[in-house]
Amino acid sequence: MKELNGLEGLYLEDLEVGLSASYGKTVTETDIVMFAGLSGDTNPVHLNEEFAQTTMFKGRIAHGMLSAGFISTVLGTRLPGPGTIYLSQNLQFKAPVRIGDTVTARVVVRELIPAKKRAILETNCYVGDTCVIAGEATVMVPSRG
């Protein structure tokens, strides 16, 4: 599989099944607080350690959609890149992300639909070897034609 690590955007004609790209970020306290402010999701499992200790997670966790946002980073900046239009996304949240974890979003081209200028992509997020989010996206990709 070819791996893209730059910021170059691709046209539909440049894509092939198996092509992949990724983006990694270490989640900070500031990221969680800012995401809560931006989204309005002030669930105490994200913001209050005392409350979070009473949950199944035994401590604070990052918002699932914060980590899922890293998928959008890959789609809009790396694969396919600038000009990509998000059409749909499904997600399964499989494990928590905590402050200090480095989340890597990895996107892999699974199917191309040239007649509709669409690509179907595997969209997973990992902390180390642990898959924390599994998903699939459909995007519209710019074409040379």
Dump pLDDT digits (tens) for 69-123: 999 999 999 999 999 999 999 999 999 999 999 999 999 999 999 999 999 999 9
pTM value is 0.90
For residue range 37-69, list pLDDT tens digits in order.
Answer: 999 999 999 999 999 999 999 999 999 999 999
Total structural domains in the chain? 1
What's the domain range around 134?
Answer: 3-140
State the pLDDT at residue 1. Answer: 46
Q: Can you give the CATH number for the domain in which 94 is found?
A: 3.10.129.10
| Edge-to-edge strands, sheet with 20-26 | 3-4, 20-26, 102-113, 118-127, 130-140, 85-93
Residue 145 resides in a domain? no
Rounded CA gap, 113 and 140, in Å? 10
